Structure 1
Amino acid sequence: MRKFYLLLLLSIFGFSQNKPFVKGADVGWLPQMEATGYKFYDTDGKEKDCLQLLKDRGMNSIRLRVWVNPNDDKASGHCSKEETVAMALRAQKMGMRVMIDFHYSDSWADPAKQFKPKAWEKHTFPELLNDVYHHTYDVINALKTAGVTPEWVQVGNEIPGGMLWPDGSTKNWKQLGQLLNKGYEAIKAVDKKIKVIVHVDEGNNNKKFREFFDNATTQKVKYDIIGLSYYPYWIKKDYSETIADLQFNLNDMAKRYGKEVMVVEVGGEDDKVQNTYELLAATIKAVKKVPNNKGLGVFYWEPQGARSWSHYALSAWLENGQPSPALDAFKE
């Protein structure tokens, strides 16, 4: 009875219970995989919807990337506004929460490349600001109109060196700050409740994060969540050598900037199942340990992107089309 009255008081005064810890997957390749005939199977050998397989393993959220004018290449294309809306609707019907990741490019954007979309290449900086605003607004509004309001939206993908080079490079933080704020403003114009993420790679590298977010603070960049990638594989170290650094950085980001934090990309080697399981379990534990419930969750990047289809070594899928037991880390 006491619990009932407590919940009643919370509802009266507008408080809400914390939402469940986010356990997610980026599945940008999924429509292409299905279109090219790839089949997904459960451990009993029966064919099953990929999103259901992920949900069965404890995942409650889906992340989708958006490119401006993508080509139709199966691995480096697609992810248009229209495909993103369709996938977001599908995920929502499965009861899953949705994150949208803007690359502001026609293909992959990451620390090594932040190429402008072809249609924006000759635009002046004021025109680029308008481009970012209108493209962001257009996609998020299309999602909302279709009945899906994403819970989180990234302005840029892995941008330690900035985005929309050279105009939005970190060599020109004043302009980068303006571009990021245009994205933020467009998202909040559609729905103020959407949380905006700014995303940097190497989540175990506190120096990199402090430098980036100190500059963002100086430029009065507006955002709600600090997004981190965490891939021990790419820095040629085992997770056991870097997980303490990830924990320190998560805690430091939350405290130093007063923001919520989330690992928006993680992955391990598909042929090292036990090691990847341990990596995931340790990463989830680290995010959950961030004080004051500021650690929101963890997303695996393309777990279903089987190497036989994608040639990507960090999926979490077996050669027989079944999910890797590594994903069981998300069940706990």
Structure 2
Amino acid sequence: MKLSSLLAAAGIYLFSQFSLGDTIIKGADIGWLSEMEDNGYQFYNDAGVQQDVLQTLKQHDMSAVRLRVWVNPPGGYYNGLDDVIAKANRAKAAGMKVMIDFHYSDSWADPGQQTKPAAWVNLDFQSLMDTLWAYTRNSLITLRDAGITPDWVQVGNETNNGMLWPDGQASSNMRNYAWLTATGYNAVKDVFPNTPVIVHLANCHDNANFRWIFDGLSANGGKFDIIGASSYPVHAPNHTWQSANTACLNNLNDMVSRYGAPVMITEVGVPWDHAEAKAIVADVVNKVRSVNNGMGLGIFYWEPQAYGGWKGYTLGAFDNNGRPTAALDAFLDPDGGASGSARLQSRRSSKCIDVPGANQTSGTGLIQYTCHSNPNQQWTMENVSGNYMRLKAGHSGQCMDIASQSTANSVRIVQASCSSGNRQQWLKEDMGGGYFRLKNRYSGKCVDVNGASMANEAILIQYACGSGMNQQWVEY
């Protein structure tokens, strides 16, 4: 669907939701989460402390979840609508966005299987479209009544050769596939007119397949707002992971140019213990960020919390002890990109960087203090240049700074009116396990808890960068 047609059909307001050119959305497909928890799986943060996996994902810069929906799932619950609503409400309570992914099947839908729900098998094509319309619309009304407004809805999953076979098999009848897609699209808009609709294919490196499907949709009345892609770089045939990622970026740019639609990686994954896991995923993140004209919207890791041999899946991002791996660290914006508001917790003391008394005065010295939810412990990370960022306090709008133009050890860290000076520019240096140092561009020294103190109100200083835990921080 061309950009001009999309704007005419949906209105310019639709694109305002995509935040073109802003920081990309980062998230995770967590469809297995409730089933894993019901089977006794527990999840831990980088420090080995048990906590809600959604909190751990947020600590790794993720702000959204993706949830698959099956029509009549095996066993009757997991990935059915009631399970999806429970997980969606949990995500919304955690302040996260939600993508709904309709498979239009009772189980997995992917390039190798697009099996009709058993209850739909004997329907003629018109009845199949009517049923798809009613099912999509009624499911979304139920979500709406439960307090959920999806941020995106996906109609079909990895539809490289259409969906609802054999009626909607694209190689047999592209028109049928396009009409089914348009039917799902129209049902979404009937309930949530401002929610963008995604059409999703596997194999981001395969430009020929993407062109075939989206040319076919465009020629036959298919509708879509966003083009979604899966990327599993180490499993791309006849590719190294590097060449797969390059081919994926080239394809995404071609989709933007050819159809005028924004793009997303709605699934990415690597083996959790791959030696280059972090580099591979970080490269995909950066590829999405570098899509032409800011039209790369986001990236979702597929089932990162899967670990310990769960259902034989080995491409999660948690280790066999239920802790995040380097693959998840790739979402921590190593290039200094803005990552929203977060607390910064010390690895040594578990206390947070704090502006004492929520003071508004420029020059107020920073301390560590028991973590809480007040804005004087909330820091927004803003891009500057050369992988550096500024850290802006939520309550005052002032930036983390060095107290004086000094490169000496033990100089106080303060808040001060934001400027473009190097003294307010910080580099996140990865220390492993999700932790990082904050290195100042002006002095080359790192934010340090004076004397490695564990106490409230211990002052923060700059000091020669080292490996001590009193210089290591995690977003919390």
Matched, 1:163 2:166: no
Q: How does 1:228-247 map to 2 (within 5 A)?
A: 228-236=229-237, 237-247=239-249
Correspondence for 1:151: 151
Which letter maps to 1:80?
G
Q: CA deviation at 1:15?
A: 7.1
Q: CA deviation at 1:20?
A: 4.1
Paired residues of 1:267 and 1:300 also in contact (CA < 8 A): yes
Which letter maps to 1:25?
A
Matched, 1:275 2:296: no
Correspondence for 1:136: 136
Correspondence for 2:46: 43
Q: CA deviation at 1:44?
A: 2.2
Correspondence for 1:126: 126
Greater Rg, structure 1 or structure 2?
Answer: 2
Q: CA deviation at 1:207?
A: 1.1
Paired residues of 2:101 and 2:157 also in contact (CA < 8 A): yes
Paired residues of 2:265 and 2:298 also in contact (CA < 8 A): yes
Q: CA deviation at 1:233?
A: 2.9
Matched, 1:259 2:261: yes
Distance 2:113 2:254 in 1: 28
Q: Write the deviation string for residues 247-295 of structure 1: whole angstroms up to 9, x where unpaired.
A: 11011101110000000001001111x4121111111111111122211
Distance 1:214 1:15 in 2: 25
Which letter maps to 1:60?
S
Distance 2:140 2:281 in 1: 30
Correspondence for 1:218: 219
Matched, 1:179 2:173: no
Which letter maps to 1:86?
A
Distance 2:114 2:220 in 1: 20
Percent sequence identity over aligned pairs:
44
Higher helix share: 1
Distance 2:232 2:45 in 1: 27
Q: Write the deviation string for residues 212-249 of structure 1: whole angstroms up to 9, x where unpaired.
A: 11111111211100000111233254311211111110
Q: Write the deviation string for residues 82-129 of structure 1: whole angstroms up to 9, x where unpaired.
A: 111111010011110100111000000100000000111111111110
2:173 partner SS? helix
Correspondence for 2:67: 64
Q: CA deviation at 1:143?
A: 1.3
1:264 partner SS? strand
Distance 1:50 1:114 in 2: 31
Distance 2:28 2:282 in 1: 15
Paired residues of 2:205 and 2:236 also in contact (CA < 8 A): no
> Paired residues, what number?
315
Correspondence for 2:444: none
Correspondence for 1:31: 34
Distance 2:222 2:307 in 1: 37
TM-score (normalised: structure 2): 0.64
1:207 partner SS? helix
Correspondence for 1:116: 116
Q: Write the deviation string for residues 130-156 of structure 1: whole angstroms up to 9, x where unpaired.
A: 111111111211111111111111100
Q: In angstroms, what is the RMSD of aligned CA positions?
A: 1.6
Which letter maps to 1:71?
P
Q: How does 1:186-201 map to 2 (within 5 A)?
A: 186-201=187-202
TM-score (normalised: structure 1): 0.91
Correspondence for 2:355: none
Which letter maps to 2:254?
D
Q: Does the C-alpha gap of structure 1 residues 15 and 83 become closer, same or farther in structure 2, counting only changes over 3 Å?
A: closer
Paired residues of 1:158 and 1:199 also in contact (CA < 8 A): yes
Distance 1:80 1:247 in 2: 34
Gaps of 5+ in 1: 1-13
Distance 2:165 2:308 in 1: 31
Q: Write the deviation string for residues 168-187 of structure 1: whole angstroms up to 9, x where unpaired.
A: 00110111111101100000
1:331 partner SS? coil
Paired residues of 1:307 and 1:315 also in contact (CA < 8 A): no
Correspondence for 1:308: 309
Q: Which has the higher contact order (CA 8 A, sep 6+)?
A: 1
Matched, 1:209 2:210: yes
Distance 1:59 1:112 in 2: 30
Which letter maps to 1:257?
Y
Correspondence for 1:99: 99
Q: Write the deviation string for residues 47-92 of structure 1: whole angstroms up to 9, x where unpaired.
A: 110111111111000000000000128xxx7100111111101001
Correspondence for 1:323: 324
Higher strand share: 2
Correspondence for 1:3: none
Distance 2:134 2:318 in 1: 37
2:37 partner SS? helix
Gaps of 5+ in 2: 1-14, 334-476
